[in-house]
Amino acid sequence: MADKIWLLTEGGHPVSLHKGKDSVYREAITVKMVFLPERHVLNLAEQDTIELICPYHFKGRTLNVLLLGVAIGIVTGGMTSVEPLISAIVILTFALTTLLFHTNSTSEYILLRTVKNENVRFFIMAEEELNNLKLNHPGKFIDNTKPGATDLNENDKKIVDTLRFSIVTTSSSITCFAMLPSVRETIEGSDASVQGLLKCLVFIIALVMASLGAYGVVRSYSIRMKREKTAEKPQS
């Protein structure tokens, strides 16, 4: 079972709960409990039914990650004292890369409803933990959901992954080309300052991101081609 879930409070605010050794989910004890002595607890084993409702999106997470990438780009551009155009490229690269890699690594989440003695509660968990939930509570799990018309199948997701990594590779490669003259000056000894060394560091980071993006494109494309070939094979 998942080590962490989120319980929706009456105000609709998700509160993170962590699984204890007894498999009961409890809110972490924090300073706020000094002023508000209340702790959220959810024991799935005691629930009468557990029902899958729909996918769930954490509001504002995408914007926060994008702003984090912009902040990293601004700090990096400021520390290296590069030209405004190159600084803008660096900011854009870190913003896009942080957002896209985060999107790729973050789980999809789902909203579920539990009922115990007519007491209804809602909680959120990672989608990949759904099968474990079904196995642990087979008699009380209810799944009446149907895939929507806009849902992506596995092949569609691989195409999106290829596009995602392509954007990362392109933006990082642009940064590499933009930083190359400054890096060359540092290597040749014309600019041995701290800013010059930081420019080399940014260049290396961008090169690594471009390499990871290129690897992601090749890997995603190869997996997609294998699946298409498998689907085309005639059934014997």
Q: Which domains does the chain have, with CATH numbers?
A: 4-58+107-143 (2.30.29), 61-105+151-231 (no CATH)
Whether residue 89 has pLDDT greater than 80: no
Residue type, 142: I
Summarised one tens digit per residue, pLDDT across range 118-168 is: 889 999 988 888 888 888 888 888 877 666 555 666 677 777 777 777 877
Question: Given phi > 0 = left and psi -120 to 50 = alpha, else beta, which region is 27?
Answer: beta
Pair 6, 15: CB distance under 8 Å: yes
The answer, as to whether pTM is greater than 0.85, is no
Say what the pLDDT of residue 98 is. Answer: 61
Burial 51-83 (b: 16+ CB within 10 A, else e): bbeeebeeeeeeeebbeebbebbbebbeebebe
Pair 48, 140: CB distance under 8 Å: yes
Summarised one tens digit per residue, pLDDT across range 185-194 is: 777 776 666 6
The pLDDT-based confidence of 61 (bands split at 50, 70, 90) is: low
Sign of the four-CA dihedral 79, 216, 166, 98? negative
Here the tokens at position 3 are: 């080590």
Say what the pLDDT of residue 170 is. Answer: 80
Average pLDDT over all residues of the chain:
75
